[in-house]
Amino acid sequence: MGDVHPLALHPPLFEELKDQVEVHDFSKYKFVTPIMKPAAMERGELLDGVMKNYRRFYMRKALFHYPWRGSGFRRRYLLGCLWAFLRTGFRRSFYDLGKAGYWGPQTKKALDWHFDESRTAALPAAVDWQTSADRAAQAEARRAALRAQMKARAKERSAARVGAGVDVG
């Protein structure tokens, strides 16, 4: 049994994007690893944009929010999160960015993602997958057809009784 593509868990999105997904090595599916090549930029440029936004958001938190919030456990927790983020950022172990060769905007053109090109998507598993909404709609359609069939049979039996002279009362 092959791996099921994570996008297959959302069939409309999977149908729309399945031709654009180039990486089927699910060990690389992390927050910052671009699995699709954007039309207007390189993967490194996309990663650099993601990291720029990440830095911009968390720098505000680091300077103006975390050190001044709460007291006791909450403050220690937030400062611990900040310390872990800074430590992984400097070591470049954050989402394995160092392994890919990302050290900032200056290296965005020279990244090596180490994608396993031998992996392919298991599309039949995605095709068979149905959402609960699809199953509910199919069940409702079956119930409606059954009700219509029962009403038609009731009319036939009633007409047969009238033709046989049975009091339908």
Domain with 145 in it: 131-169
Same domain (yes/no): 117, 66: yes
Q: By C-alpha distance, which of 124, 110, 134 is closest to 14?
A: 124
Residue 79 covered by a domain: yes
CA 52 to chain centre: 22
Q: In the chain, what percentage of residues exceed pLDDT 70?
A: 76
Whether the predicted pLDDT of 121 surpasses 80: no
Same domain (yes/no): 68, 93: yes
Same domain (yes/no): 125, 155: no
Same domain (yes/no): 89, 100: yes
Higher-pLDDT residue of 20, 6: 20
Mean pLDDT computed over 78-91: 75
Residue 113: which pLDDT band, with cuts at 50, 70 and 90? confident
Whether the predicted pLDDT of 95 surpasses 70: no
Residue 147: which pLDDT band, with cuts at 50, 70 and 90? very high
Same domain (yes/no): 30, 56: yes
Same domain (yes/no): 69, 135: no
Number of domains, the chain = 2
Residue 1 covered by a domain: no
Residue 49 covered by a domain: yes
**What does the pLDDT look like over 40-69, one tens digit per residue?**
888 888 888 888 887 787 777 777 777 777
Same domain (yes/no): 158, 102: no
Residue 2: which pLDDT band, with cuts at 50, 70 and 90? very low
Q: Which residues contact 120 (CB under 8 A, 6 or more apart)?
A: 2, 24
Q: What share of the chain is helix, strand, coil (3-state, %, to 5)?
A: 65, 0, 35
pTM metric for this prediction: 0.51
Distance, in Å, from the CA atom of 96 to the CA atom of 30, rounded to the nearest integer, reads 9
Same domain (yes/no): 123, 135: no
Distance, in Å, from the CA atom of 145 to the CA atom of 125, rounded to the nearest integer, reads 29
Same domain (yes/no): 144, 78: no
CA 166 to chain centre: 63
**For position 1, what pLDDT does the model report?**
37
Same domain (yes/no): 88, 151: no
